Amino acid sequence: MPKRAARKTQVVLNDLMIRQWPVPERGKVQVPDGTIGGLGLRVSHTGQRSFYLTYMHQGRAQRLTLGPYPELKLAAARLKAARLIEAVNAGQDPRTVPGPGDTAAPASAPKGPLFERVLEDFVDLYCKVHNKASTAAETERLLRATFLSRWRGRALLSITAGDVLAILDELIRDNRPSAAIHAYSNIRTFFGWCESRRLIPESPCLKLKPPAKKAKRSRVLKDQEVAKIWHAASAMGYPYGPIVHLLILTLQRRGEICGMRRGELMGDFSLLKLPPERTKNGEAHDVPLLPRARALLKSLPRFDSEYVFPARGKLERPFSGYSPGKRALDALCPIDAWTLHDLRRTGATGLGNLGVAPHIIERILNHSSESFDGVSGLYNRAKYLPQMREALALWAAHVKRVVKAHPPEKTLIAPRKRRRPPLTSTMATTVYCSLAVPSPDTHNSWPTDSDCSKMISKSSLRLRRKPRRRLAG
């Protein structure tokens, strides 16, 4: 997997250097200019080049995009940066400093409530009341990360449609159309709420169009690709490996598996009961767990946490390392343009090919669609648990055949983690070792339930020891 482009040391930029600076394979690289402190060049993986200025305002580090290159020349960027740095030294916010041809407004305190205060009220009075806890938290996170960092200290009435477009356009230039769509949706809801509360006369997003079209995904993985993902997840181990295996076997959503609580596992791990607050449609959902999934869950390490997959270093929170885990998985099985959610679509398609009725597939996926609309949805309250269990058994058998039929071409070795959490006395002595693939010669034997319940004694675990003290002299 290509590594993230490293940040370069300060250099004195010139036009030839800017034009020939190599484009990173992914992400972006920042090149500070050695002439003016805070000025730099940002090169994205799309080839876009732009100047930026970093500065401190009200005790917080800020970054301001000055303009794209070559529309903004290097000399002009340095002059603009020098003028804005003078404003920072005078205690002003560079975002409110007019350009050379603009008419400066008289300095005065911002009129009306500040954006950050209204944002807090929006989260407390709207998001937490009308949305699920997870949706409210994600909305707050997105608004703070995308807009608050730019508009802190600004009066709500001073924010215009141009300010919104500037942020959305930057996301599009960075090749992040999905992020731009989500940002547009959330800020439009925010300003609509402000208008309904008579905080502003009209929403600045009223006449704005979506920054990009929301593409509907139709990716269905091939059997060979499912096998590659399975083998790669086996090589990764806990926690991301078993998470991917459970996503394949149960066809549930990523958040429902990663946020799984031990209190939601019924009996001998034969049923997963998801409460309404943990499902997308707000309805309770029962998921039958087949022997392979039960054996996998029993083999996982136990922590002093209510979560089956707690966050590293924060046992009171569920696992959230989606991006690092996905990058490590992609490094082991290079497959073109796929997401974890494609596993649900692949499983639903596979169940249809295996002859499972559509309404049973929708029950497994916990979808609210035409099969349960109208009179059928109002009066038919059957959960179809036996039929769901039979369907998932068919899918598990299909996955088993696929994994055996498409072995890995070489021994898969997961990348080393940079840091391991310290072992505690509350950690159980089991480790996830059920589905590892040690060599190409042994992958053909599908692991048995006994393989999934292997125990490792405490003496074989690498406990953290205190360093020895060195005697002086």
H or E element in which residue 265 lies: strand 265-266
Q: Which residues pair with 155 in a beta bridge?
A: 114
In a domain, 412, yes or no: yes
In a domain, 457, yes or no: no
The residue to which tokens 């459970």 are assigned: 246
pLDDT score at 409: 82
Query: Which is it for strands 60-68 and 49-57: parallel, antiparallel or unpaired?
Result: antiparallel
- 176 and 66 share a domain? no
- 411 and 300 share a domain? yes
* Euclidean distance between CA atoms 2 and 251, whole angstroms: 30
Other beta carbons within 10 angstroms of residue 393's beta carbon come to: 14
Which CATH number fits the domain that encloses residue 89? 3.30.160.390
pLDDT score at 405: 94
- 281 and 411 share a domain? yes
- 369 and 258 share a domain? yes
Phi, psi of 395 (to 5 degrees): -65, -40
* Euclidean distance between CA atoms 393 and 396, whole angstroms: 5
Residue 129's alpha-carbon distances to 64, 139, 173, 192, in angstroms, are: 34, 13, 35, 16
Q: Per the structure block, which two tokens stand in for 337?
A: 């343009």
H or E element in which residue 32 lies: strand 28-32
For 271-367, list the strands marked E by DSSP.
271-274, 285-288, 310-311, 314-318
pLDDT score at 415: 65
Other beta carbons within 10 angstroms of residue 105's beta carbon come to: 9
Provide the number of structural domains found in the chain: 3
Which CATH number fits the domain that encloses residue 154? 1.10.150
H or E element in which residue 345 lies: helix 342-353
Q: Per the structure block, which two tokens stand in for 429?
A: 């002595």
In a domain, 2, yes or no: no
- 270 and 233 share a domain? yes
Other beta carbons within 10 angstroms of residue 298's beta carbon come to: 14
Strand order in the sheet with 265-266: 265-266, 271-274, 285-288
Report the interhelical angle of 322-332 vs 240-250 (nearest 10°). Answer: 80
Please check whether residue 284 is in contact with residue 230, taking contact to mean a CB–CB distance below 8 angstroms: no
Phi, psi of 298 (to 5 degrees): -70, -25
DSSP state of 72: S
DSSP 393-428: HHHHHHHHHHHHHS--SS---PPPPS--PPP-TTS-
As a whole number of Å, the CA-based R_g of the chain is: 27
* Euclidean distance between CA atoms 111 and 157, whole angstroms: 7
In a domain, 53, yes or no: yes
SS3 label, residue 286: strand
- 338 and 410 share a domain? yes
Per-residue pLDDT of the chain (473 residues; tens, 9 = 90+): 444 444 445 688 888 889 888 988 887 889 999 888 889 999 988 788 899 999 887 777 888 888 888 888 998 899 898 888 888 888 887 777 666 644 444 445 556 899 999 999 999 999 999 988 878 888 999 999 999 988 988 999 999 999 999 999 999 988 888 899 999 999 999 999 999 999 998 999 988 999 988 777 788 999 999 999 999 999 998 999 999 999 999 999 999 999 999 999 988 899 999 998 888 888 899 999 999 999 999 999 988 999 999 998 888 889 988 888 999 999 998 898 899 999 999 999 999 999 999 989 999 999 865 555 544 555 555 778 999 999 999 999 999 999 999 998 887 776 665 554 444 434 433 334 333 333 333 333 344 444 444 433 333 333 344 445 444 44
Among 62, 96, 130, where does a domain finish? 96
- 261 and 337 share a domain? yes
* Euclidean distance between CA atoms 366 and 279, whole angstroms: 8
pLDDT score at 169: 92
The residue to which tokens 């560079």 are assigned: 94
Among 51, 66, 96, where does a domain finish? 96
pTM above 0.75, yes or no: no
Which CATH number fits the domain that encloses residue 377? 1.10.443.10
Give the domain extent around 169: 115-196
Residue type, 93: D
- 123 and 247 share a domain? no
- 293 and 413 share a domain? yes
- 363 and 271 share a domain? yes
Q: Per the structure block, which two tokens stand in for 471?
A: 């005697």
